[in-house]
Structure 1
Amino acid sequence: MKLALFSSQKYEQPFFEKSLAALNSNNITISYFEQPLNATTAPLCQGFDSVCVFVNDTVDDTVINTLAEYGVSSILLRCAGFNNVDLNAAKAHNIKVCRVPAYSPEAVAEHCIALMLTLNRKTHKAFNRVREGNFDLNGLLGFNLFEKTIGIIGCGKIGQALVNILNGFGANVLVFDPYAQAGCYTLCDLDTLLSQSDIISLHCPLNEQTHHLIDDSALAKMKPGVMLINTSRGALLDSKACINALKTKKLGYLGLDVYEQESELFFKDHRDEIMQDDVFSRLVSFPNVLVTGHQGFFTQEALSEIAQTTLQNAHEVAHQLPLSNEVK
């Protein structure tokens, strides 16, 4: 199998090379492309058997038609989400789609906690103050997570990992998830979670039902000054609605590791460019907003698991074995 890996970053290549060596397969060779896969770059796939993509690659009907013309037999996602792949088009062309269903759920859950604590205790602001010789505590007041009500929307593996951490803080955890079973949390409906939570964290997939799940209506049901965290998919939030809620102080804190239009921004260095996204520029102008560039997954353990599972998927496709992680 000749595998074209798109949106390649230098930090992930050693993990793929190490996992490839451990797989001990001479049948897989990897070519790394820094470019994202989209309609413009799809011609690069000519001569390859499979493509490997990440969260911000565009694998729509147009791209899949091109892949089919070149004889590409599989699309390997090195992530859990697959909202950027047209599954119907892939099925129509008999192109297999595989993903990495779980890669260190604790990595994302721990990053979620980091966003909560940083926003709450303002450690990023304290760091800058102290470096400048300013030890004034005014403006740095936080609150205890102990006995606060924290709502989790979506309680899959990442949500459950977050529940375990929050229980350690002594928080009162609410969960809204139609598929969740009873656990160390209180199951409730969405309106109850929105109205009772001091902190709300999103951990659900992006689909037609969850697109802009947090909109003006949802925000209106929340407590004044609520903290909202999103480490899942950017389009779960209506960014303009969040801006309005920040301006009225309905949102007291907003922590984002994802953004609806992140494909044009994240994983790249834009320091010498003029920011063209006015919505993003407005979001980061608020002192109570913290944005990280989709790094929730970014731990050694997670990168190792992503590489191992992706290459195992490639191995199964190459040898026509049952596909452990096929998306249908």
Structure 2
Amino acid sequence: MLREAFDRAFGGRHELRCLRLFLNQDTAPTAAGHEVVLSSVNDTLDAEVLSSLSKGGTRMIAQRATGHNNIDLAAAEELGLTVARVSSYSPYSVAEFAWALALAVDRRIVRAAHRTREFDFRLDGLLGRDLHGRTAGVVGTGKIGASFARIAHGFGMRLLGWDAVENPDCLALGMEYVERERLFAGADLISLHVPLLPDTHHLVDARTLSLMKDDAILVNSSRGGLIDTDALLETLRGGRLSGVGLDVYEEEAGVFFLDKSLEVMTDERLARLMTFSNVLITSHQAYFTRDAVGQIAETTVANIADHLAGRSGANTLTRPSAG
């Protein structure tokens, strides 16, 4: 989709080179001579990498995502690099996938599917519960969080929300905005939809996990660093939480999007998470729909066109100084 959008926009006037590698200090030299580098959330764009890119002739970083915590924006600005992101795309892609995770862990779908493929049709260990009438806690009520809340409302759930700014659309659904502690203590299902910032790093830690109901469900389809993995493992070892659905993991870089099936898994925390039958982990695919990927491609190409024309817009995070 990216190449198609690129060709439509530039009609062969510019070359697009696609490489199957993650950007870091070792791979940065491959970008030499390219004015624009397209990056993803699992690439490393720290000061050192950005400096290498700048020396190689790069003048723009086009991030193919909304999040940009992997980019040292201060260093980019100092180097005179333009950085742009995809500020929004289909919120339904992520919200619907978060619900897929929630329902899968609640109703033990993966375990049931594995059993029936082996012609084991017993219901032992597959007991779930109705979500109708229970409480959904939505942490972050922007476009994706609001979409998640609308689905929860359709299930007939009570809504608790936590965010710096109250969303009128969520208030219209009957959402009650509360302090974070009250949300974690009162919700039967908690879904995370906030960006990863210094203030939200390990938002879900030992203290907040201790507040959750023993049979609560936790879903994270936002950023892995929102959850303290060690604290989550300790909670699960204690037999708490009915289910956990994770589409992201705080140390996913260098693991997610790659085939590790023939290697020894050296990340002991990730391997340990996989051993819990009530934990479902997917590989950062919540955004991965034709609709969302198409929008990401179109916006990324539009950001590149703006840069080449000397324009900036709502997606621009840094721009070269006038001097």
Assess same fold via TM > 0.5: yes
* Alignment counterpart, residue 301 of structure 1, candidates 291, 302, 308: 291
For the residues of structure 2 that align with 1:179 and 1:218, how far apart are their CA atoms? 21
Q: Are the counterparts in 2 of residues 219 and 250 from structure 1 also a CA contact under 8 Å?
A: no
Q: Are the counterparts in 2 of residues 20 and 311 from structure 1 also a CA contact under 8 Å?
A: yes
Q: Are the counterparts in 1 of residues 187 and 212 from structure 2 also a CA contact under 8 Å?
A: yes
CA deviation string 1:150-174 (max 9, x = no partner): 1011111111111111111111111
Letter in 1 for 2:295: E
Q: Are the counterparts in 2 of residues 79 and 100 from structure 1 also a CA contact under 8 Å?
A: yes
CA deviation string 1:92-122 (max 9, x = no partner): 1111110011121100000000001100111
* Alignment counterpart, residue 274 of structure 1, candidates 242, 253, 264: 264
Q: How far off its partner does 1:20 sit?
A: 1.9
Letter in 1 for 2:216: V
For the residues of structure 2 that align with 1:165 and 1:38, how far apart are their CA atoms? 39
Tell me if 1:80 matches 2:70.
no
Once superposed, what is the RMSD of the aligned Cα atoms? 1.2
Q: How far off its partner does 1:124 sit?
A: 1.4
For the residues of structure 1 that align with 2:98 and 2:61, how far apart are their CA atoms? 29
Q: Give the length in aligned residue pairs.
A: 314
Q: Are the counterparts in 2 of residues 225 and 249 from structure 1 also a CA contact under 8 Å?
A: no
Q: Which residue of 2 aligns with 1:163?
A: 149
Q: Which residue of 1 aligns with 2:246?
A: 256
CA deviation string 1:55-93 (max 9, x = no partner): 100000001111221231110000000000000001111
Q: Are the counterparts in 2 of residues 234 and 260 from structure 1 also a CA contact under 8 Å?
A: yes
Q: Are the counterparts in 1 of residues 6 and 16 from structure 2 also a CA contact under 8 Å?
A: no
Matches within 5 A, 1:1-328: 15-182=1-168, 183=171, 184=173, 185-328=175-318
Instruction: Look up the SS of the partner of 1:279 in the other structure.
Output: helix
Structure 1 unpaired stretches of 5+: 1-14
Q: Are the counterparts in 2 of residues 151 and 199 from structure 1 also a CA contact under 8 Å?
A: yes
Q: Which residue of 1 aligns with 2:321?
A: none
Q: How far off its partner does 1:234 sit?
A: 0.5
Letter in 1 for 2:86: V
Q: Which residue of 2 aligns with 1:9?
A: none
CA deviation string 1:144-196 (max 9, x = no partner): 11111010111111111111111111111111001223422111110110110
For the residues of structure 2 that align with 1:201 and 1:174, how far apart are their CA atoms? 11
Letter in 2 for 1:312: A
What is the TM-score of this pair, normalised by structure 2? Answer: 0.95
Q: Are the counterparts in 2 of residues 37 and 58 from structure 1 also a CA contact under 8 Å?
A: yes
Instruction: Look up the SS of the partner of 2:128 in the other structure.
Output: coil
For the residues of structure 2 that align with 1:278 and 1:21, how far apart are their CA atoms? 43
Percent of paired sites with the same residue: 38
CA deviation string 1:249-273 (max 9, x = no partner): 2222111000011012100111111
For the residues of structure 1 that align with 2:6 and 2:274, how far apart are their CA atoms? 40
What is the TM-score of this pair, normalised by structure 1? Answer: 0.93
Letter in 2 for 1:246: L
For the residues of structure 2 that align with 1:266 and 1:78, how far apart are their CA atoms? 16
Instruction: Look up the SS of the partner of 1:29 in the other structure.
Output: coil
Letter in 2 for 1:103: Y
Is 114-123 or 67-76 further displaced after alignment?
67-76
Would you identify which runs of 4 or more consecutive aligned residues in structure 1 move more than 4 Å? Answer: none
Letter in 2 for 1:241: A
Is 16-25 or 249-258 further displaced after alignment?
16-25
Q: Are the counterparts in 1 of residues 140 and 193 from structure 2 also a CA contact under 8 Å?
A: yes
Q: Are the counterparts in 2 of residues 101 and 325 from structure 1 also a CA contact under 8 Å?
A: yes
Q: Are the counterparts in 2 of residues 242 and 251 from structure 1 also a CA contact under 8 Å?
A: no
Letter in 2 for 1:113: W
